[in-house]
Homo-oligomer: A and B are copies of this chain.
């Protein structure tokens, strides 16, 4: 007679054998080799997969899904595991099969005249950007994780990033998809048409669905002319409202040249300059709020001469107190390092609150004021670091521990601060997840504020498309 754990181990072995028979022994990773598939890059989410299937093509994806469907085994589609909400990593249950798309990584076709590239889901974003660049065009999705994240994951999470203000979220860049549905059938439209009003636009269902309605295996994505003029500015202002006013002004006055517009509060700039030895503030004084602005164009009238005059006007008016325009690539890198360094800076203080909220652009400054007051009242001395894509109304309103508190003392307060900030987000009619998605990590907060009608619609969609609930179950909806 087998003990309970021996029985479980035997079940597990027979499941693995059956899976191997279905998709081929060589495609299966199990046991000690699961490490890098179990965890996301933050280390916040550590799971344990039953096995990983590394699909070589759509047939392997379909075979895996059919096998999961037959055996009632949950499937977790996985891209570059760079997500921030535990949407693409297994739970610790040991019962989920991870489907890795990493071997399906070809750029199949690039047509710069049509403005479309056809790419497999496992292609690393940076590789796609490079291939498109070599073809003389530009793929305008730029996110911190682009060296690791895969295009299938970007599509499944409707990724954002710094170019959204100009080119939209990933959804706006998807012109067609190939998706294996929860029953193993394939929906495919990779024709790359810019306009097509024939029936329901089915691809929309799978974009941002975090792998809960099917597995994206390939996509037709929009590519655009390559920017040949790029101007990067670091501008200081008197306040957050002044940064928002600056956004309004530059957006109106520049003629859609803005391709990036990031807010950095003084605390963020001070922190990053204090903690990162290689990062310095290019301005000699400290100001209340800063903007990193990128203007770009693929040609057309010269930006630089106009910009020099325009910036002088903004300074005469007093809207910009001080500022620099990068004169070379080193200075461009220096400016962006201020933004990118913040991630590492924050982590130096131990556990901290990371949020990804959005409000109307016109409400961002008021939100920061209200949020900062609320955090100060809750945890005096906690340092608020609101920064991010204010050109889209999207803030990473992060909070690190007070100087007089240890990381251990601060850790239990993080969720309380998050709750408080999310309540203010609700008051502002904002979103608690602007670009990161829901996954497992934000599901509780999401479902707590999900109204009846959208809840019913989402549940209906899920149940109709995935009646056995095998596709990334528990992510987004419980």
Contacts and interface: CB of A to CB of B under 8 A. Distances in A.
Interface of A: 111-116, 157-158, 160, 164, 168-169, 171-172, 181, 185-189, 191-202, 204-205, 207-209, 213, 224-229, 244, 248, 251-257, 297-303, 305-306, 358-363, 389, 392-394, 429-438, 442, 446, 450, 453-454, 456-458, 460-461, 464-465, 476-477
B171 A201 contact: yes
B187 A169 contact: no
A242 B377 CA distance: 66
Given A202-B454, A434-B196, A299 B392 contact: no
Nearest to A185: B453
Given A199-B477, A227-B255, 7 more contacts: A113-B361, A197-B438, A199-B450, A200-B208, A201-B207, A254-B300, A301-B306
B191 A429 contact: yes
A189 B431 CA distance: 11
A208 B202 contact: no
A196 B358 contact: yes
18 contacts: A113-B360, A113-B362, A114-B393, A193-B359, A193-B393, A193-B429, A193-B430, A195-B389, A195-B393, A195-B435, A196-B431, A196-B433, A197-B431, A197-B433, A251-B298, A254-B298, A300-B306, A460-B465
Contact of A200 (B172, B433, B461): B461
Nearest to A207: B201
A195 B464 contact: no
Nearest to A160: B195
A431 B208 contact: no
Given A255-B298, A453-B181, A453-B185, A197 B158 contact: yes
A358 B299 contact: no
Nearest to A136: B252
Given A164-B194, A197-B436, A450-B199, A300 B253 contact: yes
A158 B169 CA distance: 19
Contacts of A464: 460-461, 464
Contact of A201 (B158, B300, B450): B158
